Amino acid sequence: MSRNHAPASLPVALTIAGSDSGGGAGIQADLKTMEAHDVFGTSAITATTAQNTAGVDDINVLPTDHIAAQYDAVVDDFAVGAIKTGMLATADVIETVADCVADFAGPVVVDPVMVAATGDRLLSEEAEAVYKDLFDHATLVTPNADEAELLTDRTVDSVEAADAAGRDIVGLGADAALVKGGHIDGDSGTAGDSDEVVDTLVIDESATDATHTERFTHPRIDTDATHGSGCTLSSAIAARLAREETLTEAVAGGVAFMERAVRYGIDAGSGPGSVHHLVEMRERADREATTAAVERVVARLVEANAETLVPSGGMSVVGATPYAESAAEIVGVDGRLSSTRTGLRHNAGVRSGVGSDLAHQLLAAREAFPELRFAATCRFDDAVEQNLDTLDGTVVRGEGEDPTEAVSNATADADDRPAAIVDTGGDGRQPGVMLAATTAATLRERLLSLHEALITE
């Protein structure tokens, strides 16, 4: 018996850019990012490159009539919701693309790719001036600080300078400009030294009835593995625009997406590595397995009737996917484990976003040790403290105004990944302990080992 066809109807976006044989940037990054946003990605390739994470060895620019033919083939058949441009390489290609998008009614995101992260030039010098012709058709231009300097002939070394450069780019014809802050210090104006990244969005009066600037601030990720970050951000914004988000919503969502893609980048090749274009899809996909892992820990604790471990307010057990960034992405026991007349029981199941304090504590520990994925609260008294040394790992201690701050302080000063994190308590707050592990199996063994130690005293 045949089955009915049940096709999905997805928004469509088009990327006009070069190919990266290393897979981390260019067309490859664009299509992965669009897929991660549930958008069907189409492409018009402007050039092929022989490159990897270490550098660009060769560039072959395609004939402009073939680039235009690719564009026509896509827009004639697909309902394209947004277009993103990347590496265009030469003045002729830029002029061709400008002619192609001139009659396009939807949003156009222009990523003015000029120099690769490795320092290799991706745009001929004579093409820089011609690039500005494309801005007349741009909903958004997304330069980094170096590209903004080339486009505006001003030094971009502070958020104030980024604002001025953004206004210059808007003055060249774009509806808006997002000057990325990866090379700019958000505090003092010294490039690259801040703990925060500030991306500056300048929106033109014709787009919003009031020229204004918005800034998006997020922690700087301590890594050089940013290959493909510019392509990924502009593609994320274009994909969100294709889904009919407003410009500000699309930029805010794209920046947040980019932050996670950089933090959980892919260690590939001999160079620094690539951003992780599909990280949000992987995070969602891993929640089911993480939920099952937490359920197995809970089942084993109930089976062993490990009441010796339960604090007076109940016991929490949580798990994070490898890419979890918020409490909503942590799975845990809904209602906690409690001692009853018939032994250890839990009031409800395991699900995402239970909002327990332990979820925030695990996230705090993951800032220092991202490989930590599972945690549980335990009762804490002299007997427990004496037996913590029997665990197969380091025990660390921290102070703070609340348990999350105590965990953050304890792990920030730790040299080794901890097995147990002690909150030493404070005004009106009793000391407590959290057991943590990289796997659910390790957490289970640590909990049961501590339980056995306590019942044999």
One digit per residue, the tens of pLDDT, for the chain of length 457 reads 889 898 889 999 999 999 999 899 999 999 999 999 999 999 999 999 998 888 888 989 999 999 999 999 999 999 999 999 999 988 999 999 999 999 999 999 999 987 655 556 666 677 777 888 899 999 999 999 988 988 898 999 999 999 999 999 999 999 999 999 887 864 434 444 578 899 999 998 765 555 689 999 989 988 888 888 999 999 999 999 999 999 999 999 999 999 999 999 998 888 888 999 999 899 989 999 999 999 999 889 888 888 888 888 888 899 999 999 998 899 988 767 667 666 666 666 676 776 678 999 999 999 999 999 999 998 888 888 899 988 888 999 999 889 999 999 999 988 999 999 998 887 778 888 999 999 999 999 999 999 898 887 6
Amino acid at 423: D
Secondary structure (H, E, C), 213-260: EEEEEEECCCCCCCECHHHHHHHHHHHHHHCCCCHHHHHHHHHHHHHH
Q: What is the pLDDT of residue 345?
A: 67
**Identity of the amino acid at 38:** D
Smallest CA-to-CA distance from 82 within 34, 22, 115 is with: 34
Fold of 282-455: L-fuculose-1-phosphate Aldolase (3.40.225)
The CATH class given to the 12-277 domain equals alpha beta
Q: Is the dihedral of CA 444, 447, 448, 449 positive or negative?
A: positive
* Integer angstrom CA distances of residue 431 from 335, 406, 408, 409: 22, 10, 15, 15
Taking the C-alpha atoms of residue 197 and residue 215, their distance in angstroms, rounded to an integer, is 10
Residue 405 to residue 411: CA distance in whole angstroms = 10
Q: Are 109 and 84 in contact (CB under 8 A)?
A: yes
The three-class DSSP label of residue 134 is helix
The pLDDT score that the predictor gives to residue 359 is: 92
Looking at residue 122, what is its pLDDT?
A: 63
Residues spanned by CATH 3.40.225.10 within the chain?
282-455
Q: Where in the chain is the domain with CATH 3.40.1190.20?
A: 12-277
Q: Report the sign of the C-alpha dihedral through residues 31, 102, 247, 215, in that order.
A: positive
The DSSP output letter for 422 is E
Q: In the prediction, which pLDDT does 191 show?
A: 43
- Evaluate the CA torsion angle 128, 145, 86, 224 in order and state its sign: positive
pLDDT at 189: 40
Q: How many alpha carbons lie under 13 Å from residue 2 in its C-beta half-sphere?
A: 3
Contact 82, 107 (CB under 8 A): yes
Indicate the pairing of strand 374-378 with strand 317-320: antiparallel
Structure-derived torsion over alpha carbons of residues 393, 352, 413, 297, reported in degrees to the nearest 10: -10
First to last CA, the chain: 66
Tokens of 376: 């549980």
